[in-house]
Amino acid sequence: MKKPVIAIDGYSSTGKSSISKVIADKLGLIHLDTGALYRGVTWFALQNCTNESGSIDLAKLFSSLEQIDLEFKNNKGELILFLNHIDISKQIRTNEVSDNVSLVAKQKEVRDFLLQSQRNLAEKGGIIMDGRDIGTVVLPNAEFKFFLTASIDERTKRRYLELLSLGIEADEQQVKHNLIERDKIDSEREIAPLRQADDAIVIDNTNLTKRETIDAILSHIQTI
């Protein structure tokens, strides 16, 4: 039997990736965190495509896209992102990347560059992909679509604790500001904006634990 294709979209820090990872393990699916791909391109740009003031030079980035080779490798169940064969899994979580990723992700050139590889990965089925435009643009025919949301204060708390656990210094107000700013850019951009697909199941997990959110998703997958 062909394994399903599952799309999980939603706001920043609603737990999309960590929840998708657990569901993937449980159902024997591949998990692709598409946000990590946009973060990988942003890290590349910060290293290689900046102007004198240190900000990203988009024209330079567009002409360098073909030099970017992003690959996930499996390390004991953990997917590690490599950029041109170098592990960048820690670098892509830094504040520097978080502050610049939405600008990079709103560019058509960047989205086109990442689109086909995401679709290719889903061709054989058996995948759960999380992001912002998976149910609407990348995989409009996914069998199951979920859209996760939660209050800004709850999401701030989660991201703040995540950063601390990664050993990254953080200021809670700054984290909140970054989330609001990113959601605004992601929702208002012209190409593939963050939007709930018409046929997505919405889950507000402000007052749900990670386990309860996973159970809510699984209940839909297993009852259909």
Q: What's the CA gap between 130 and 13, in Å, rounded?
A: 12
Name the residue nearer to ligand DC (CB basis): 34 or 91: 34
Tell me how far, at minimum, the Cβ of 173 lies from ligand DC, in Å: 18
Alpha-carbon separation of residue 24 from 28, 30, 36, 46 (angstroms): 6, 6, 17, 32
Name the residue nearer to ligand DC (CB basis): 200 or 219: 200
Name the residue nearer to ligand DC (CB basis): 52 or 103: 103
At residue 205's C-alpha, the angle toward residues 21 and 215, to 5°, is 50
Cβ(99)–Cβ(170) under 8 Å?
A: no
Strand ranges in 11-118 using DSSP code E only, listed in sequence order: 30-33, 70-75, 78-83, 86-87
Tell me how far, at minimum, the Cβ of 154 lies from ligand DC, in Å: 15
Tell me how far, at minimum, the Cβ of 147 lies from ligand DC, in Å: 13
Name the residue nearer to ligand DC (CB basis): 112 or 219: 112
| Residues at the interface with ligand DC (CB under 6 A) | 12, 34-35, 38-39, 101-102, 105, 131-134, 182, 186
Is the CA virtual torsion 154, 160, 163, 164 positive or negative? negative
Tell me how far, at minimum, the Cβ of 2 lies from ligand DC, in Å: 23
